[in-house]
Structure 1
Amino acid sequence: MNSHDLEQPVPSSKSQHNALGFNSGFNADDFYAGLDRIFAHALGSTQALPYLEEALAGAINSHDEFAELTVISEFLGFDRSHGRHDHAQKLAERALELRNSLGLINTEQGTIILINVATAYRQAGIYDKARQFYELAAKEAEHTLSNTDRQKAALYNNYSMLFSETGDLPSAHDQLIRALELMQLSSPDASKDGDVATTLTNIGLLELQMDDVLQAVDHTRQALDIYTNNPDLQSSAHYTSALAGYAQALFVSGNLSQALDYFEQALGLIKKFYGESSGYYETTAENVQLVRETIASQQSGSQTNGQAEQAAQDQQAQESSISATQRPDTHSRNIQNPKLSGLELSRAYWDEYADQLFSGELATLRSRAAIGLVGHGSECYGFDDDLSHDHDFGPRFCIWLTEEDFATYGKKLQERYTSLPFEFMGYSRSVSSPRGSGRDGVLSIDSFFESITGLSHAPEQAGEEHLWLNLDESTLCAATNGSVFADPFGAFSSRRQGFKNMPDDIRLYLISQRLGMISQTGQYNYARMAARKDSAAMLLCISEFAMNVSSLIFLLNNPVSVGYAPYYKWRFAALRKLSTRMGARLADLCPLLEELTMNPLNDHAQTIMNDICERIVSELNVQKLSDQTFDFLEWHRPYVESHIDSTSPLLHSI
């Protein structure tokens, strides 16, 4: 669960349609009633899209701009929930045109349009435009929406998500606090308000990412108190989320017995509300098992592989900022070599010299520059250790500029960066390897991504399948790893998010490919090579099997949520980290793969591979990618590929 799993709804124009003054050519009530009937009868997957398309075409043909805007407002919500981001962007542009032509600037309805448009851009990963329209909406909302209007609170909740997705956790936290204040103002009784509880849980989960564990425990506890003190609210699905959120905070704080208690309470309710076959139940059940194993391992005096490390890492998520109260004191130059990760060192170095870099004539550039550490290097993956310090390591960070700013200011800013001290907090920049150049300093956004992926922009979600298939997972991992410390303009984060957003059709195709290779190497060729007593070929089968299984685990967990599988050197380190993450799918395969690769010619190797394949089949069934129970993974491929919507022949191998 991340800090915004409990998303507040985006404001809808539905509650505003009477005030918009629709003319007699369009009946808003009839339009909404028809849409409500579709969803009430669970026909949304087949009838909602043609209904909206027909309504929009009718509004356009009748030249009724109010009607057109009404349909667009609902269509944007549909597009967001179905990942139709390209279409949503076109609708967003038209909504802005209609907002102007209908004279809705600085009106309540016009502000709601801005919120919807900003959210469409955010979910499409176009962060610079999303920020532009959230800022405009917030400015207008000060006089168009009252502080007791829940739509104003929803604005700040969604604005918070933008900051969270671009790595600015402190700003994300500020916006959520503002949303909470507005919800409390608008509530008849905040102590009985489920929406207030949801926001408190979101704040607590965000604070876990910021290392503010005490505050996280406090806020998630406050959220749970609202449900505990109001039994009539406990029939809401959000009650289970509040239980799980508090349990997660307790787990990170080290209060394992209470964490287990609340996770088990959540699990019981999820079973009642959703059933044991739901993904929500599966995830929470795995969390319960993880806590139980952690308790057992502590009681035995030693934690199982990676859990102690992950308990600490969960308090500082991969892209978390170091909280202001816990960051290293960068002014204390007498501190010699404190234990810092490369990302922590990089962040501290930026905090120390940010003002110096962007002073004077470059002061205004700071609002358009992105700062962070992404790309090649063990610290970008979060796996650096003492051995990493002998090359391409030390106080450093990247400054990413647009092409225009790079051409105008790049040389001057690089001179300032080069002049910064080579030693900081006891760390010195180590010798650069031949491949280490271009990993830090001032870079254009285009050239940075081109240097890693060969492309300045991510391929389109549809129509460029060949470009997605040319990008290895390890390449995509290098383009999206690390951390972004600041990106007020959002241009870099938007570009980076584009590479994170692997189209689901591509993901499904890769899952099919991995199933084929796992089956070929582990279920067929290994035994044949063993019969031929070809040990070298058996080793290669195991290697291919392990690489494909580890890739499949990342794909089934969805790279949009967990990132991509890195290249071979860090593949197992990343898999261990993923496998100890709460809610991870197929988390139990990592130790089996490690045992297999350490004993590839063992008599039990085939048994281990068979066990792994059986668990993969179960996961395919849980995720409803295949409803078959064949042991042989190759036979599941047609069922997986049947979920691919694209008609491109590149994505249909069978």
Structure 2
Amino acid sequence: MTIQELQKQLDEMYANNELDEAYAFLVEQVNLAVQRQDNATILFLLNEMIGYFRVTSQFQSGNQIALQIFKILDMCGLEETIDGATSYINIATFYRVQGKYQEALSLYQKTEKIYHHELEPYDELYSAFYNNLSLLYQEMGDYQQAIDMQKKALAIVEQLDDYRIEEAITYTNLSQMYLSINQNDKAQKCLHQAISLFQQYGPHDPHYFASLATLAQSHYMQKDYVKALDIYHRVLHFIESVYGQNKDYQTIQKNIDRIQKEMKTIKGLDLCEAFYQQYGRNMIEEEFSEIKPYMAVGLLGMGSDCLGYDDEISHDHDFGPGFCILLPHDIYQQYHKQIQASYQKLPQEFMGIQRLTSAHGNGRVGVFETESFFKQFLRQIPQTLDDWLYADENALLACTNGRIFEDNYGQVTQIRQYLSYYPEDIRIKKIARCLAKMAQSGQYNYARCMQREDEVAATLALNEFIDQTLSLIYLLNKKYKPYYKWSYYGLKDCTCLQAVTPLLLQLVQLPSQKQHWPQKNSIINTDDQKVVLIEKICQLVIGELHRQGLSTSDDDFLDNHTLEVMSHIQDDHIRMKHVMEG
């Protein structure tokens, strides 16, 4: 058999997915070529075996074949020839798949020297060479070199007749490089070129599915999980039907598993921003481009998703794709009905998730007039220090949480920045109030209730102490406190007083301490482990007051720090208020 006949028979076997038969045929033909001492045929067949072992991930066997190829090249004096360069490329590609990058790079560099000596500058062999070298640089993390090599390959194949499949492969490889450095627009442009070429010239070519896998990756990066999964499953089926569950199959399966996991755990803010980028932005630009400069778009307001604290449990209500469009009064009056109508036409499902709205969750997304949106929480934007003192903390948090995806007019961002946190005099006033309430509930009344054997009242006192401790931690961290469901969880975002977090958990996990209170008259009863924990927490608080320059006292009783803390208030009117006020 001639080499051309061997190649034709092998191609037919691969086309029919007869991998075992192809390997048996290769072994048989190698033995026959050895008997004939036909080194050219042996070299061709061993190179085919390298390819077989690469796609079937049989690396140990392939490495042995590579050594045999090197010996034949040396024996036949082919080390500096085009035949030698062809073998080097095959072995280098095999090494790359194994992660033997330096060995692969050395062989590619050797090949390039041979090509420069033997070939014209735009010879077709350069195209495959630069493609393979680019893939190596990509896996080594040198993305700029990888892109440069792909561009060299593309410049060559575009000039060659009947090389449209190679051109499509090159576009696919180049798109992968761009995705690696987050240049998604350039990647998408290359992918569209590649897929168009494959559909026209090679709809059944194996490389077409590599292009589709890259397209799936681009959808994944845009958070379009449903499309990504659909394409990945098609690619997975093709790989298994032709090559079995090889390394490429396992890679695609891992991608599928990762997407399915992320779909279960995706945060609402990320979901809604991806939904806006994929659908909302286009709707606005195509239908309302003239008023886009006045729009702010994002997700903010009430809800666990706006805090970034949502989890799988949160998905059962008031969760799903959606966003807020905020407009100045005049623009809202003129256009809100048209915009809301277009908003309602957006897909109701995204990433496999439909928005679920509870009876109390209506009106959280859609089109809003800016000032009215904020006033639904605050009634009015605080103007004076008294306004700030009595403003509802949950309302302030609702106005400043979440994420703004785009604010062209700037009004929403300006309001959020203004409301971002209390004026310093108000923060100090509220700190003093928390100290007084912590002392009253935890250091004083808990013990008195236990002395009276009133465990219900003692539990209420303990709960008040915990609530005030949480409030104080947020104040010392200059953050608004979330409502009760998330106030403990949110401590993970607080840097000051982190040591208090586990103590609060211990405090609520302790059983009743009533057995330690018979005939106890002392308020600081160290036999009661809850009392011990309360005092530990108070000591940590005092240390933080010192660090922030709010108190210099070492008194153990928090109430005795309140007057010094209040003395730091600059405004006379606020400083003269009762410690418990506000």
TM-score (norm: length of structure 2): 0.52
Matched, 1:348 2:274: yes
Distance 2:501 2:353 in 1: 34
Q: Which amino acid counterpart does residue 528 of structure 1 have in structure 2? A: R
Shift of 1:440: 0.4
Task: Name which of 304, 308, 314 aligns with 1:382.
Answer: 308
Does the 8 A contact of 1:373 with 1:482 survive in 2? yes
Q: Which amino acid counterpart does residue 227 of structure 2 have in structure 1? A: S
Does the 8 A contact of 2:323 with 2:365 survive in 1? yes
Distance 2:219 2:505 in 1: 39
Distance 1:338 1:614 in 2: 42
Counterpart for residue 503 of structure 1: 423
Does the 8 A contact of 2:222 with 2:274 survive in 1? yes
Does the 8 A contact of 2:482 with 2:490 survive in 1? yes
Shift of 1:649: 4.6
Does the 8 A contact of 2:265 with 2:312 survive in 1? no
Shift of 1:381: 1.2
Say which SS state the counterpart of residue 359 (structure 2) adopts: coil
Task: Name which of 427, 445, 448 aligns with 1:525.
Answer: 445
Deviation string 1:369-393 (CA, Å, 9 cap, x unpaired) is: 1111111111111111122121111
Distance 1:371 1:324 in 2: 22
Matched, 1:572 2:488: yes
Task: Name which of 508, 515, 536 aligns with 1:597.
Answer: 508
Deviation string 1:44-71 (CA, Å, 9 cap, x unpaired) is: xxxxxxxxxxxxxxxxxxxxxxxxxxxx
Q: Structure 1 residues 594, 651: CA separation in 2 closer, same or farther (over 3 Å shift)? A: farther
Counterpart for residue 547 of structure 1: 467
Distance 2:511 2:296 in 1: 46
Does the 8 A contact of 1:333 with 1:425 survive in 2? no
Shift of 1:365: 1.8
Shift of 1:500: 1.2
Q: Structure 1 residues 444, 553: CA separation in 2 closer, same or farther (over 3 Å shift)? A: same
Shift of 1:325: 9.3
Counterpart for residue 514 of structure 1: 434
Shift of 1:489: 1.8
Does the 8 A contact of 2:280 with 2:346 survive in 1? no
Q: Which amino acid counterpart does residue 223 of structure 2 have in structure 1? A: P
Distance 1:572 1:465 in 2: 28
Deviation string 1:128-155 (CA, Å, 9 cap, x unpaired) is: xxxxxxxxxxxxxxxxxxxxxxxxxxxx
Say which SS state the counterpart of residue 368 (structure 2) adopts: strand
Counterpart for residue 498 of structure 2: 587
Q: Structure 1 residues 324, 651: CA separation in 2 closer, same or farther (over 3 Å shift)? A: farther
RMSD: 2.3
Q: Structure 1 residues 437, 600: CA separation in 2 closer, same or farther (over 3 Å shift)? A: farther
Does the 8 A contact of 1:330 with 1:352 survive in 2? no
Residue segments in structure 1 that go unaligned for 5+ positions in a row: 1-213, 216-322
Q: Which amino acid counterpart does residue 533 of structure 1 have in structure 2? A: E
Counterpart for residue 223 of structure 2: 328
Does the 8 A contact of 2:269 with 2:299 survive in 1? yes
Counterpart for residue 395 of structure 2: 475
Distance 1:324 1:385 in 2: 23
Q: Structure 1 residues 425, 625: CA separation in 2 closer, same or farther (over 3 Å shift)? A: same
Distance 1:385 1:331 in 2: 20
Shift of 1:422: 0.6
Greater RCO structure (CA 8 Å; 6+ sep): 1
Distance 1:600 1:488 in 2: 55
Shift of 1:635: 0.7
Task: Name which of 411, 416, 434 aligns with 2:359.
Answer: 434
Q: Structure 1 residues 338, 590: CA separation in 2 closer, same or farther (over 3 Å shift)? A: closer
Matched, 1:538 2:464: no
Does the 8 A contact of 1:478 with 1:566 survive in 2? no
Distance 2:462 2:222 in 1: 44
State, as a whole percentage, how many aligned pairs show the same letter. Answer: 38
Shift of 1:324: 11
Counterpart for residue 344 of structure 2: 418
Distance 1:653 1:477 in 2: 25
Shift of 1:474: 2.2
Distance 1:360 1:381 in 2: 31
1:208-357 matches, cutoff 5 A: 326-329=221-224, 332=227, 334=229, 337=263, 339-357=265-283
Residue segments in structure 2 that go unaligned for 5+ positions in a row: 1-140, 143-217, 231-259, 514-527
Say which SS state the counterpart of residue 540 (structure 1) adopts: helix
Q: Structure 1 residues 617, 355: CA separation in 2 closer, same or farther (over 3 Å shift)? A: closer
